[in-house]
Each structure stands twice: as C-alpha cells, then as structure tokens.
C-alpha cells in the first residue's frame, strides 16, 4: 500500500464523547518508492518523440545555450537527417559554426572544392556541408577539428604543389603513390619532421604542415599496443587545440555566435570517458563556464539496424554493449526517443555507491556525461558519398 501513498489519504478516526473526529493526513509524494522505481518513473515522464515533441525539446535546449554538442553515431542516415531538421532553426537562433570531426583540409574541401576535384573521404558528405553552408553564410561554417586519417596523401600532394622542388615532399609522394596505409606513418613522420623552410598552407585556419605531422604522429602511435593510449590522448588534444584555434579566430569578432559540435559519442562526454581520457566535450563544457556561457550535450545510440562507412557495414544494435542502453531501449516508446537525463542525476547520486545496481552504475555514467540521450530503435546504413 505504501507505494501508492502519493495518491491516498490516511484516514484517522477517533471516537470522542460528542461524536467522530476525522483527520485526513496527506502522504508525501513518492514515499515508499525505491530509487530504482523513481529513476524508471523519471525516465518514463521525461522521454519525447523525436518526430514531434523531442525535436521541439532539442531545439529549445539549443536556443537556451551557446554550445550544443551532438555525440553521434557514425555511418547511418539518421543523424544527417536530424541535422537537416535542426539546423535551419539553429541558424535563426544564432548558430554560425559547426565544430566537426573532420580535418581542416577536409572541411575546406567539403565546403569549397569544385565538382570533379579529388573525392573526400570524411564523416561528413559534401551534400551535408553544402546544406549547412547554404543558410546564408559567406564564410566557412565547418571548423575542421581532427586529424586526417583517411587521406593524408592528399595533404602531401597539396603541399608538394605549393613546393614543387622540395625533395622531402617528393619522397613522401613516392611513399604514398599507391595510396596511404597506416604502416607508412612512421617513415612519413620522420620525413615530415625534416620539412623546413617550405611554403606552408593555411587551410580552415590551421597549418597544413602541422595537421599532417599531428596525423602521422597519432597514426604511428596507433600501430603499437603500448602507445595506443598515447594516440588517443594525442587525438583528443589535437581536437581541443583546433577547436580553440577556430574559436579565437572567429568568435572574438562575433561574441554572440553559437557553435554546434558534431563528433562521435566518445569525444563529447563531460569529464573522463570510458577510455580514461578528458574529452573535447569536457573542454568545451569547462571553457563555456569560463566564458560565462552554457552547454547542452546529447548522445545518440542505436538499438537495432546497420551502419556503414568507407566500405564497411556493421551491426548498429548497441544494447549488448552497455546495460544502460539496453535499459533505456526497453523504456523507449517511440522509434526515436529523446530522454532527458538531468532529472535522474540527483536520484542516482542519492544512492550510496555500494548500493547501486549494475544498471544504475551505467546510468550515472551517462547522466553525468550527457544532458540527454537519443535512442534510435533502428538505424539505416549511410550510402557512400
């Protein structure tokens, strides 16, 4: 009976000489509910259909903040579709830039290269880039904030064209004449360190030589198990450096401009992610605080379907990867459900650490990392650019 105390009144009847004295004493809301039941109830109350109220929810949260962080899935159609739906309203609300998980070189190519030039392999398509660019911007919208692991040979090519007599660049072209493979990275990195007194190119605010060296250093560290963590830290540090470079270059003259960040989910956690790395999302959150600005970040996960990128297709059902994903998917009422995670934070943190069950342990990780999470019950594989 105590589970329904919020909806009942306790009736106390006392017999006194002149008759009956009756008291109705209301019980406090939620008394008798376990913490697990409270968490479930909050998630059921604070979930929204992305096709209607969920999209309105995300748009309103974007309106209230200066930085909107979207921790996406890779290789599916749903996130590009969501961006197309949200961006026009975000543009009207003051968003002028998108920090993107592409290199500065790729960002520039996606927005400004002519048809027929080299095909760009990137997590963005040219169609997506032209869509966000077409909303009235005369300057670049995309901020390239990553290495270029897909086509470093094209960065070498462009530098060689600017320095046709440079012997070192000629040797680098020779190494990559049949295309780039990661095993080439150490040799190319040694050569890149010998590049001195050459004409560098500033592309999307960044040094092309600098981005090439950073790419090759991260790729070299990826080759050995003992240096993979260094590679992850190095990549995250590069993302942070490039984000701050773009911010200083563009926001100083337009202090009210807002920024959307679209990266893979691992890069936009608040705090340290599961790899033990302070993420770009953590930097943006703390940087926003120092600038007296605010952040909203939302993650996305798939509960079914397939994803595809760069010729590879994989199962996009992540329910088996994380107990929180499986739990949230079981509660999701819509094909694409947005959960507001903020209401469950105080409940989860009110449970003693040694009393949290495995699902609660994972939920607190996601609720601390993200403000909201988007569950797609089925995603469809992205077609090649």
Q: Going residue by residue through the chain, which has 385 residues, state the pLDDT in tens, using 9 for 90 and above.
A: 444 344 333 333 433 344 444 444 444 445 578 999 999 999 999 999 999 999 999 999 999 999 999 999 999 999 999 999 999 999 999 999 999 999 999 999 999 987 656 688 999 998 999 899 876 667 889 999 999 999 999 999 999 999 999 999 999 999 999 999 999 999 999 999 999 999 999 999 999 999 999 999 999 999 999 999 999 999 999 999 999 999 999 997 678 899 999 999 999 999 999 999 999 999 999 999 999 999 999 999 999 999 999 889 999 999 999 999 999 999 999 999 999 999 999 999 999 999 999 999 999 999 999 999 999 999 999 976 5
pLDDT, residue 101, reads 98
At 29 the three-state DSSP class reads coil
DSSP-derived secondary structure letter, 102: S
The domain defined by 35-94+256-385 folds into EreA/ChaN-like  fold (3.40.1660)
Q: What is the pTM of this model?
A: 0.89
Q: Which tokens hold the place of 64? A: 């209230």
CATH 3.40.1660.10 domain position(s) in the chain:
35-94+256-385
- What's the pLDDT at 85? 96
Q: Residue 39: name the closest of 375, 373, 328, 382 by CA.
A: 328
Place of tokens 């209301």: 26
Distance CA 87, CA 91 (A): 6
Tokens at 342, concatenated:
């903020």
**Alpha helix segments (H runs only) across the chain:** 35-45, 53-64, 78-92, 104-112, 126-133, 152-162, 167-175, 185-193, 208-222, 228-250, 280-290, 323-331, 345-349, 358-369
Residues shown for the chain: 385
Can you give the pLDDT at residue 115? 61
Give dist(CA 382, CA 385) in Å, integer.
9
| Alpha-carbon distances of 214 from 149, 186, 219, 263, rounded to whole Å | 10, 12, 9, 19
DSSP secondary structure letter of residue 76:
B
Start-to-end CA span in the chain (Å): 59
């Amino acid at each position: 009976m105590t589970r329904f105390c919020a909806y009942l009144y306790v009736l106390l009847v006392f017999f006194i000489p002149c008759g009956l004295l009756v008291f109705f004493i209301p019980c406090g809301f939620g008394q008798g509910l376990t913490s697990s039941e409270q968490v479930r109830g909050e998630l059921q109350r604070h979930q929204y259909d992305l096709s209607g109220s969920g999209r309105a929810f995300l748009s309103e949260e974007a309106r209230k903040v200066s930085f909107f962080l979207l921790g996406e899935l890779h290789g599916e159609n749903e996130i590009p579709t969501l961006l197309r739906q949200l961006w026009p309203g975000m543009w009207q609300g003051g968003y002028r830039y998108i920090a993107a998980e592409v290199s500065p070189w790729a960002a520039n190519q996606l927005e400004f290269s002519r048809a027929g030039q080299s095909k760009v392999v990137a997590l963005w398509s040219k169609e997506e880039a032209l869509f966000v660019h077409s909303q009235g911007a005369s300057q670049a919208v995309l901020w390239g904030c990553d290495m270029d692991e897909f086509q470093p040979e094209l960065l070498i090519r462009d530098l060689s064209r600017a320095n046709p007599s440079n012997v070192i660049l000629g040797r680098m072209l020779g190494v990559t004449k049949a295309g780039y493979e990661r095993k080439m990275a150490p040799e190319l990195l040694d050569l890149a360190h010998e590049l001195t007194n050459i004409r560098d190119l500033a592309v999307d605010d960044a040094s092309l030589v600098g981005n090439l060296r950073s790419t090759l250093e991260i790729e070299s560290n990826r080759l050995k198990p003992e240096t993979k963590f260094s590679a992850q830290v190095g990549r995250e540090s590069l993302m942070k450096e490039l984000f701050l470079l773009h911010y200083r270059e563009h926001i100083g003259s337009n202090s009210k401009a807002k920024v959307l960040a679209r990266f893979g989910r691992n890069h936009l956690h608040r705090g340290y992610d599961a790899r033990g790395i302070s993420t770009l999302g953590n930097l943006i959150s703390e940087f926003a605080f120092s600038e007296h600005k605010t952040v909203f970040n939302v993650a996305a996960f798939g509960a079914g379907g397939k994803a595809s990128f760069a010729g590879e297709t994989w199962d996009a059902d992540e329910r088996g990867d994380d107990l929180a994903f499986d739990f949230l998917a079981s509660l999701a009422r819509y094909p694409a459900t947005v959960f507001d995670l903020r209401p469950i934070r105080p409940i989860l943190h009110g449970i003693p650490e040694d009393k949290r069950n495995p699902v609660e342990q994972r939920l607190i990780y996601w609720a601390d990392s993200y403000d909201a999470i988007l569950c797609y019950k089925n995603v469809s594989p992205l077609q090649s650019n």
